[in-house]
Amino acid sequence: MNNKVNVKEKFIETASRLFQIKGYNATGLNEILIKSGAPKGSLYYHFPKGKEQLALESVKLAGQKIITKIINALDSIEDPIEAIKFNIENIAILIDNEKSTPDISISLIALETYITSEVLRNACNDIFTSLENIYAEKLINSGISKDKAYELGCVIAAMIEGGITLSLTKKSGDSLRILAKQIPNLINI
């Protein structure tokens, strides 16, 4: 039983990493099989609906890792402005120091699949909404009104996703650092 779980986890971890680096359409099931080292027959045993089902599980895994990282960063500093800046600066450091940056964004798979897969679009939407809510709750806890906090949560999440895209494209976390500097201007406590 434990071996079956390990094989399934290998598939999900491998697919998650490849989808974040190469995208959904550029990642084939054969590549996932080879990189995971799992037996070929076990893929459809664990994922009878194929690539979309595997992608759904990998998006959920990546989303949970991203959410956990953000919560940990925000919980480490009481002041919401400093906490959000800290989170953004940590992402910038990851981009500067890593050749690939798993578990910082699901934007690539979201952009690739929003028209072709309602299942994956919904999963990505749920994660993006969770990110917005995490920022909003941090702001609400500091005394910002609920309506304003949820608007700011959406703006902050969108800015960070855009900053990640710019930073990855430029191969430098500097776009995120500029964004972090602007957080105090955005949030008036």
- 48-81, pLDDT tens digit by residue? 999 999 999 999 999 999 999 999 999 999 999 9
Is 147 contained in some domain?
A: yes
**How far is Cα 104 from Cα 69, in angstroms, rounded to an integer?**
9
Is 173 contained in some domain?
A: yes
- What rounded mean pLDDT belongs to the chain? 92
pLDDT of 14 above 80 = yes
Is 135 contained in some domain?
A: yes
pLDDT of 99 above 90 = no
Is 182 contained in some domain?
A: yes
The pLDDT value given to residue 41: 86
Is 27 contained in some domain?
A: no
CATH of the domain at 101: 1.10.357.10
Total structural domains within the chain = 1
Is 94 contained in some domain?
A: yes
Structural domain span for residue 145? 55-186
Is 31 contained in some domain?
A: no
Q: pLDDT tens digits for 110-145?
A: 999 999 999 999 999 999 999 999 999 999 999 999
Q: Please give the model's pTM, rounded to 2 decimal places.
A: 0.90
Is 125 contained in some domain?
A: yes
pLDDT confidence bin for 4, thresholds 50/70/90: low
